[in-house]
Amino acid sequence: MQKHFSDPQVVILAFLLLLAATTIFFIGDILVPVIAAVIIAYILDGSVSFLSRKLKLPRTVSVAITFSIFILLLLSALFILAPLMIRQASQFVLQIPGMMSRGQDLLMQLPEKYPTIISEKHILELVSGIRLQVAEFSQHVVSFSLSSVSDLLTFMVYLILVPLLVFFFLFDKKKMLDWFTRFLPDDRALVSTIWKDVNQKSAGYIRGKFAEILIVWFVSLITFLWLGLDYAMLLSFMVGVSVLIPYVGAAVVTVPIAIVAYFQWGFDSNFAYVIAAYGIIQFLDGNLLVPFLFSEMVNLHPAAIITAVIIFGGLWGVWGVFFAIPLATLIHAIINAWPQTANLRTESAVE
């Protein structure tokens, strides 16, 4: 206590961290529109800064251009992409019974080929378990669709509130930051140091991750359409989103791609082309795109990244997965800055 908390700056940092964590834990659900708007504005602010800095445009004009593009993309996602994705997902769900029948016929051949390894009883138990899981999944889909009807009004309100908040956060960024810093102590060098480090790395990571998702999604879509794979939009979207979970996402998404390709063509050359193309996309993403987008932005050990994804994903679901690395970067920056600063100040006081 004397070593670390005798410094007022350390106490300030601890208090701010505790306040932020408590706020998110207890009223995070209520503040969902505000938090979402802050995140979106944080991402879009990079474009605003680029237009203002590189093209010498006034910030008002930069905000207007960036916000207009954001609204255009949002409307395209709502009225073009979302209906197409829902239609392909519905078609895929309708094909599941046929896929299960063909899969059962394929599995029933295994006891004949490998009688010493697997029996017909085991196959029947496996098929029964799969059918049970599919039935439960279908019930969840139906209950979700029914519950979403009651939440439609809330969604429409959020659809209006979030863009408005994004615009205000972008337009009045300086005023809001000045208002917020009025409540902070003047002596906040430690907090400012950690924030600058985290902001620099996290901003690059979040914006780069969005760019990676869009690039991988687009390349996968073009590739699947070129190869004639069914549900190309749905599967390419899954490939794009899979980059949120390093190392694991690519392996998980391989399963639906292989299933769709197999039931469309069987084990022929088309199936091999799809799997090979998907492997090339993942190879280029991991060895070319990721180093280009994230070079020197986040310096974390792979074990730390996986642990962060597991912990924050378990706490906050998809959002926790997406922000796992920025949150891990925050913890890493605090661990590095806190003891060093405290130790240096304590030694200076002793001397």
Q: Return the pLDDT at 224.
A: 94
Q: Return the pLDDT at 223.
A: 95
At how many degrees (to 10) do helices 8-27 and 324-350 cross? Answer: 160
Tokens linked to 190: 């430690």
> In Å, how far are 51, 124, 130 from 46, measured between CA atoms?
9, 56, 47
Q: What is the dihedral of CA 104, 106, 110, 112, to 10 degrees?
A: 100
Single-letter residue type at 288: L
- Cβ burial 92-118 (10 Å sphere, 16+ → b, else e): beeeeeeeeeebeeebeebbeeeeeee
Residues 71 and 261: their CA atoms lie apart, in Å, by: 36
Cα-to-chain-centroid distance, residue 297: 17
Query: Which DSSP letter does residue 184 get?
Result: S
Say if residues 248 and 109 touch (Cβ distance below 8 Å): no
Spatial CB neighbours of 52, under 8 Å, sequence gap ≥ 6: 58, 59, 62
Each residue's pLDDT expressed in tens, for the chain with a length of 351 residues: 666 666 677 777 778 778 888 887 787 778 878 888 888 888 888 888 888 888 888 989 999 999 999 999 989 888 888 888 888 887 887 777 777 777 777 777 777 777 777 777 777 777 777 777 766 766 665 555 545 555 667 777 788 888 999 999 999 888 888 888 887 777 777 777 777 777 776 777 777 788 888 999 999 999 999 999 999 999 999 999 888 776 678 888 998 899 899 888 888 889 999 999 999 998 888 788 877 776 555 566 667 777 877 887 777 776 677 677 777 777 777 777 665 544 444 444 444
47 HSE (CA, 13 A, CB side)? 21
Q: Return the pLDDT at 142.
A: 56
Residues 240 and 214: their CA atoms lie apart, in Å, by: 7
Q: Return the pLDDT at 193.
A: 76
Q: Return the pLDDT at 183.
A: 78
